[in-house]
A and B are shown apart, each in its own frame.
Chain A
């Protein structure tokens, strides 16, 4: 399983765009990059998943360069409610594989 590395914490002001980068140097050919969000006292929640280039949904955008050794989760115009821990994972697209979470990035949004 590809090991992922993220910053431990980030701070941002409300209304700013936040970019959280994850490195996954040994990602396998059939691994997808998946991001989860976790609020206090709740289980993690799926945000977005991608294989390469760019994926966008109503919550976030995910940028994956051609070499796929890193990815960037982009949160546009964050609000206080985006304060959470964000996890990056490499998810295999075949076989039965367990998901191993790292320690995530704690994003604090300040008014």
Chain B
């Protein structure tokens, strides 16, 4: 594919339900990032993968949030027992090289998944 894709684009969940959000990065990209973007705010870092290894999960807001990238390509962000405060757009980004967001290592963003928890 030409870019990062995410599915579903929209998800409505009842409070307490579990959801799974999928990210397909650009083929061959080593790094993968998840961000949470609340309404009217900028993206907030959630977690970072280098291939299949989750090297940083410091931004995950609670233990209800879990992310995986088992084969180093597709990633899934899972939210258990969703709460209203989880309503946001979840953005995925990938980059070719490892680790750094500087030195020309541009992050390419997907269109996001808009999660609404009722």
**Chain B associates with chain A:** no
- Which A residues have a C-beta under 8 Å from some C-beta of B? none
